């Protein structure tokens, strides 16, 4: 595959991954109380604390995915986080009250698949900081 096309595709993918987490964190920071209310509505205690943790975590994920630093680790953590969100906020307990929740639940898995693929293949050879904790330079 042409290296220019590959680099462009990887950069666009990283922008999409990072952009999703930038948007999610931004919405949380803009109205932390609304985020806490949503978290509380799912039955979690200490919802305001959890809202702050989520916003900070999403910011860290965005930075890693956009820069390529600790990219594979961030992609794996993001996939686990998205799985948690799918189950906690759109899982089977939500389906009976609103059929659209099943669609939201399933949509999370396409994002998880992309993150897992990204974790395996890394941030690319160009335009990436390429730091890793997995015992090797990010591929």
On average, the pLDDT of the chain sits at 90
Mean pLDDT along residues 76-81: 98
What CA–CA distance (Å, rounded) separates 2 from 109? 29
Burial zone of 10 (CB within 10 Å; 0-12 exposed, 13-18 middle, 19+ buried) = buried
Report the pLDDT value the prediction gives residue 93, as an integer from 0 to 100.
83
4-30 confidence digits (pLDDT tens):
888 888 999 999 999 999 999 999 999
Residue 82 has pLDDT above 90, yes or no: yes
Residue 39 has pLDDT above 70, yes or no: yes
What CA–CA distance (Å, rounded) separates 59 from 18? 9
Question: For residues 123 and 7, is the Cβ–Cβ distance under 8 A?
Answer: no
104-126 confidence digits (pLDDT tens):
899 999 999 999 999 998 887 77
Report the pLDDT value the prediction gives residue 97, as an integer from 0 to 100.
74
Report the pLDDT value the prediction gives residue 134, as an integer from 0 to 100.
67
How many residues belong to the chain? 139
Crossing angle between the packed helical segments 47-67 and 3-30, to the nearest 10 degrees: 160
Q: Which among 128, 114, 22, 24 has a CA at the least distance from the CA of 75?
A: 114
Q: Which among 74, 49, 81, 53 has a CA at the least distance from the CA of 89?
A: 81
Who's near 29: CB < 8 A, 6+ residues apart?
55
Mean pLDDT along residues 93-110: 87
* 86 vs 136 pLDDT, higher one: 86
Report the pLDDT value the prediction gives residue 95, as an integer from 0 to 100.
84
Mean pLDDT along residues 78-101: 90
């Amino acid at each position: 595959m042409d290296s220019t096309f590959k680099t462009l595709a990887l950069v666009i993918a990283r922008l999409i991954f990072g952009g999703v987490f930038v948007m999610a964190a931004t919405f949380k920071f803009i109205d932390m109380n609304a985020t806490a209310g949503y978290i509380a509505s799912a039955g979690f205690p200490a919802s305001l604390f959890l809202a702050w943790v989520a916003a900070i975590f999403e910011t860290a994920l965005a930075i890693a995915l956009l820069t390529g630093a600790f990219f594979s680790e961030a992609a794996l953590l993001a996939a686990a986080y998205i799985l948690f969100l799918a189950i906690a906020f759109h899982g089977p307990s939500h389906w009976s009250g609103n059929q659209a929740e099943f669609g939201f639940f399933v949509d999370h898995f396409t994002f998880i698949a992309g993150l897992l693929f990204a974790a395996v293949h890394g941030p690319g050879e160009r335009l990436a900081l390429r730091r890793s904790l997995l015992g090797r330079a990010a591929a």
